[in-house]
Amino acid sequence: MTAEGAQAETRAAMPCFLCTACGTQFAETEAPPPACPICEDERQFVPATGQGWTTLDRLRQTHTNGWRALGPDLLALLTFPAFAIGQRALLLRTPAGNLLWDCVALLDAATEAVLRALGGLAGIAISHPHYYTTMVEWGRAFGCPVWLHAADRAHVMRDDPAVLRFWEGEAQEVLPGVTLHRLGGHFAGGTVAHWQGGAEERGALLSGDILQVLPDRKHLGFMRSYPCLIPLPPEVVEGMAARLAPLEFEAIYGAFHEREIPHGGKAALMRSVERYLRWSRSMPAP
């Protein structure tokens, strides 16, 4: 065996560790990384108990994925019990193929079998680095591109040029009728997906938590950091709204279980922006 072959075999035998706080998967190493840059960033946090690590193989032994239908062509994928940040992924079914929006860390045999029975994946698109998780595993398993905004490339902890596609600019069509739009805000490359065929053909927005659907399911929130409660400047939120103004959409589907606005989504967005700007610019005296 050549020296290069021996090195490749050693790398293949090493695990790719997962951060238990954010779910990010790192490149192959013999021991866990010394720290998780995603959690040490001001938008996330290192738990008070300290940094923890696991692997995908271990996660498969303790967790499972469940499905929920949100509409005729939209399914939600959620891991039980909750792992790391606890976000869901969304499976968008189109005549041109299936798109996985955002990602969860757990990819197991059952999940892969369900997705293959539904036609596999034509692509994966992720809103921001907190949801990158095991994206390389997903892209390799289904032989499909993983679309990430280039502005967030420095936050990729496990690269793979064979599957990762870094797009630039303000918009990128990934399937006919499905276009990614960079809004920034939470991250420089913070992205939402506009689906022209959603909500009874009146359009839908897949927002991750770039736009956070709030518990009343009538409003949205805008933050640089949700767990650390760091708000965005009002002019940034105003800019996000301006980029969304030309789009038509009825529904908004957020990052977490039961965080969706099935009707009146665009009105809810504009109402939420107006409320945010009012309070951030002219906070009344108590």
The mean pLDDT value of the chain amounts to 94
HSE-CB at 153 with a 13 A cutoff on CA atoms is 10
Which amino acid, one-letter code, is at 187? F
Q: Tell me: the pLDDT tens digits for 87-121? A: 999 999 999 999 999 999 999 999 999 999 999 99
Residue 195 CA to its chain's centroid (Å)? 16
State the average pLDDT over residues 256-281.
Answer: 96
Are 81 and 91 within 8 A, CB to CB?
A: no
Q: Which two tokens stand for residue 51?
A: 């940094």
In this predicted structure, what is the pLDDT of residue 283?
Answer: 65
Do strands 146-149 and 171-175 pair parallel, antiparallel, or not at all (unpaired)?
Answer: unpaired
Please name each of the domains of the chain with its CATH number: 57-281 (3.60.15.10)
Query: Which among 80, 64, 70 is positioned nearest to 101, based on CA atoms?
Result: 70
Quote the percentage of the chain above a pLDDT of 90.
91
Is the confidence at residue 31, as pLDDT, over 80?
Answer: yes
Helical residues (DSSP H) of 143-186, grouped into ranges:
none
- Residue 198 pLDDT > 90: no
- Of 182, 181, 175, 192, the closest CA to residue 151 belongs to 182
The number of angstroms, rounded, from the C-alpha of 165 to the middle of its chain's C-alpha atoms is 15
